[in-house]
Amino acid sequence: MPPIFKALITISVWVLFIKGLLGVVLGCVIVAKASMAGETPPLVGAAISIVGVAALILACVGAWLRQKV
């Protein structure tokens, strides 16, 4: 397989990894700010965290597939 495919997979894995980390951190910040203010945490914080975790899982799958290529 040409090396360009490995490079594309590597870039995709890094993008998913960074998106996942930012999503989890941002979701936690939103929930923490709402909790500190005495409000109920918004559903957006949980949704962003779930999307972040899904991106991290997809990054792991992409890294596994890159290793197989």
Residue with tokens 């949980």: 46
4 belongs to a structural domain: no
3-class state of residue 62 by DSSP:
helix
18 belongs to a structural domain: yes
Model confidence, pTM: 0.86
3 belongs to a structural domain: no
51 belongs to a structural domain: yes
1 belongs to a structural domain: no
Question: pLDDT of the chain along its 69 residues, tens only?
Answer: 788 989 999 999 999 999 999 999 999 999 999 999 988 888 999 999 999 999 999 999 999 999 988
Domain count, the chain: 1
* Residue 60, domain extent: 10-68
Cβ pair 45, 25 in contact under 8 A = no
5 belongs to a structural domain: no
